[in-house]
Amino acid sequence: MAFSFQYLLLLLFFASPSSAKHSFRPKALVLPVTKDASTLQYVTQIHQRTPLIPVNLVLDLGGQFLWVDCARKYKSSTFRPAHCESAQCSLADSSSCSFCDSPGCNNNTCSVMPDNTVTHTGTFGIVAQDIVSVRSTNGFNPGRTVAVPRFIFSCAPTFLLKGLAKGVSGMAGLGRTKIAFPSQLASTLNFHKKFAICLTSYSKGVVFFGDSPYVFLPNVNAAQGLIHTPLIINPVSTASAFFQGQPSSEYFIGVQSIKIDQKVVSNINKKLLSINKKGYGGTKISTVNPYTVLEASIFKAVTEAFIGARNYTRVAAVAPFEVCFDSHNVGSTRLGPAVPTIELVLQNNVSWFIFGANSVVAVKDNNVLCLGVVNGGKNPRTSIVIGGYQLENNLVQFDLASSRLGFSSLLFGRMTTCANFNFTSAL
Ligand SMILES: *[C@@H]1O[C@H](CO)[C@@H](O)[C@H](O)[C@H]1NC(C)=O
Ligand SMILES: *[C@@H]1O[C@H](CO)[C@@H](O)[C@H](O)[C@H]1NC(C)=O
Ligand SMILES: *[C@@H]1O[C@H](CO)[C@@H](O)[C@H](O)[C@H]1NC(C)=O
Ligand SMILES: *[C@@H]1O[C@H](CO)[C@@H](O)[C@H](O)[C@H]1NC(C)=O
C-alpha cells in the first residue's frame, strides 16, 4: 500500500509540473506607476505574452478591464481567443459573439467594448486570454514574479490608442468588474479583494493588489490609520459604449458637503451630490482626469469660497485653471503652500482633507498659484470627479469585499511620499 501511494505521488508530481511551479502563493502584487509629463497620464507596466514582453498601459482606476492593441505587433504562442458562451465570456459580461480576423481568432469569439476613457471612445474588441506576469510583494519590496497563465483581456484596434501617452499599448482597468485587475488577480491567486494606489508626479508611484502592509521608506506602513467611507455603485454604466443594464465600473463615494477652512460652502445644490436614476450626479475618483472636475455651480461656489477665505487677489487665469492668484505672501508648510484647506465631508461623517500640495498648482516660475480644479460645465455626467493631482501622495485603498474606501490623507504629514516604495528587490 505504502509503495503504491508513493508511486501515485510521484505520478502526480510528474504529471503536473506546472502546478508545482505555481504553488508559490503571493499575498500581494505590486506595479510601478510613472506620470507621463506631456499627457499627465499615469502609466504602469506589466509583462504579457509568450515570450514575455513589457507592455506599458495607462492606469485607469475605474476601467472595466485590460485592453491592448492586438492589431499591431501582437505575437504570442499563448494567445487564445475566448469562444462564445465560454466561462471567460460570461466572466467578461459579454453579450455579443462576433467575427474576428486577428491572428488565432475565429468566427466564434465573444466581444466586449474596450473604452478609451481619456478620449471617451468605445469600440468592439474580442475577449482573449494570455499569460500576464507581475511582481509579488511582502509590502516592503518587490519579490518573485508571479505568472497568471490565462489572464482575460480585450483586444482593441490600434486607433483606440489615440490620445494616450507615447509608448503605451492599452489601458489597465482597475474597476469593479470580475475581469478588471483587482478581481481577476485576487480570484486567480486567491488573495484579498483589496487594492491600493499611491500616485506621485516624480519618480515612481505604486499600485498594490492584495492586503497591506504597504510600506514606504523610512518604514511607514501607509495602511495604518486609514479613514473609511462606503463605496457607492452607480447603477448606470459610465463607459463610452456599453451593453444596456451594465452598472458603472467606476468608484463613487458620497460627498455630503464641502468645507473651506472648516466653513461649509453654501450654495451647493445637494441634488447634484447624489446619483440619480439615470446615473447622473455624485462623486467619483478617476486617474484619467489629471485634475478634479467640478460641475459649474459647485465650481463657482468652491472657488469663490477659496479665494474669499484669504482675500487673495486674482491674476489672469492659466489654462486649464480659472482661478489663479499671486503666490507672494503665501507661506509654505510641510503639507504644501499655506492655502485654505478644502474638506470633503463624506458618508460616515469622515473628512478627506485636501491641503496645499494637492489643491494648488504652481505656474509661471512659481509666481502664480492656481487652484488645481477645472470647471466641468453644466449638467456633466458626474458632478465631482476627484482627479489625479488631488490623489498624489495619498494612499487610497479600495476594499471590494466590504465595498469601502480607505484613505491615508497626505503622506507628507508622516514624512513619506508615494515615491518612497523601495522598488529594489529583496531577492
Ligand atoms: C466565418 O463564417 C462565415 C459564414 O458562416 C464563413 O463564410 C467564413 O468562412 C468563416 N470564417 C472563418 C475564418 O471561419
Ligand atoms: C477681505 O476684504 C474685505 C474688504 O476689503 C474685508 O471686509 C474682509 O474682512 C476681508 N476678509 C478676510 C478674511 O480677510
Ligand atoms: C460630524 O463630525 C464633526 C467633527 O468630527 C462633528 O462636529 C459633527 O457633529 C458630526 N456630525 C454628525 C452628523 O455626526
Ligand atoms: C531597499 O531594499 C533593499 C533590499 O531589501 C535594501 O537592501 C535597501 O537597503 C533598501 N533601501 C533603503 C533605502 O532602505
* pLDDT in the model for residue 10: 36
Name the residue with the closest Cα to ligand 1, atom 5: 107
Alpha carbon of 424 to ligand 4 centroid (Å): 6
Name the residue with the closest Cα to ligand 4, atom 14: 217
Q: Which set of grid coordinates corresponds to residue 185? A: 488577480
* pLDDT in the model for residue 93: 93
Does the pLDDT value for residue 4 go beyond 50? Answer: no
* pLDDT in the model for residue 101: 60
pLDDT in tens, 13-72: 333 334 444 568 899 999 999 999 999 999 999 999 999 999 999 999 999 999 999 988
Spell out the domain ranges in the chain. 2-213, 227-420
- Grade residue 243 by pLDDT with cuts at 50, 70 and 90: confident
Is the Cβ atom of 77 under 6 angstroms away from ligand 1? no
Is the Cβ atom of 425 under 6 angstroms away from ligand 1? no
Does the pLDDT value for residue 126 go beyond 50? Answer: yes
Alpha carbon of 346 to ligand 3 centroid (Å): 11
Buried b / exposed e along 213-251 (16+ C-beta atoms within 10 A): bbbbeeebbbbeebebbebbebebbbbeebeeebebbbb
Q: Which among 84, 99, 101, 108 is the best mutation to test ligand 1's pocket, defined by most ligand atoms within 8 Å of the CB?
A: 99
Region 2-213: CATH code: 2.40.70.10
* pLDDT in the model for residue 241: 85
Nearest atom (ligand 4) to Cα of 218: 14
Q: Which ligand lies nearest the alpha carbon of 102?
A: 1
- Please classify residue 77 by burial: count the beta carbons closer than 10 Å to its beta carbon, then call 0-12 exposed, 13-18 middle and 19+ buried: exposed
Q: Which CATH architecture best describes the domain 227-420?
A: Beta Barrel (2.40)
Is the Cβ atom of 103 under 6 angstroms away from ligand 1? no
Q: What average pLDDT is seen over the chain?
A: 92
Is the Cβ atom of 107 under 6 angstroms away from ligand 1? yes
Does the pLDDT value for residue 7 go beyond 50? Answer: no
Lowest mean pLDDT segment, chosen from 11-20, 196-205, 329-338: 11-20
Q: Which ligand lies nearest the alpha carbon of 108?
A: 1
Establish whether domains 2-213 and 227-420 are of one fold: yes
**Looking up cell 469600440, which residue turns up?**
123
Is the Cβ atom of 106 under 6 angstroms away from ligand 1? yes
Lowest mean pLDDT segment, chosen from 45-49, 102-106, 216-220, 319-323: 102-106
Is the Cβ atom of 367 under 6 angstroms away from ligand 1? no
Does the pLDDT value for residue 12 go beyond 60? Answer: no
Alpha carbon of 411 to ligand 4 centroid (Å): 20
Is the Cβ atom of 426 under 6 angstroms away from ligand 4? yes
* pLDDT in the model for residue 100: 65
* pLDDT in the model for residue 103: 59
Which conformational region is residue 336 in: left (phi greater than 0), alpha (psi within -120 to 50 degrees), or beta? left
* pLDDT in the model for residue 14: 37
Q: Which among 135, 141, 425, 427 is the best mutation to test ligand 4's pocket, defined by most ligand atoms within 8 Å of the CB?
A: 141
| Interstrand relation of 404-410 and 227-232 (parallel, antiparallel or unpaired) | antiparallel
Could you tell me what percent of the chain has a pLDDT over 70? 93
Could you tell me what percent of the chain has a pLDDT over 90? 86
- Could you tell me which of 23, 21, 22, 61 has the C-alpha nearest to residue 42? 61
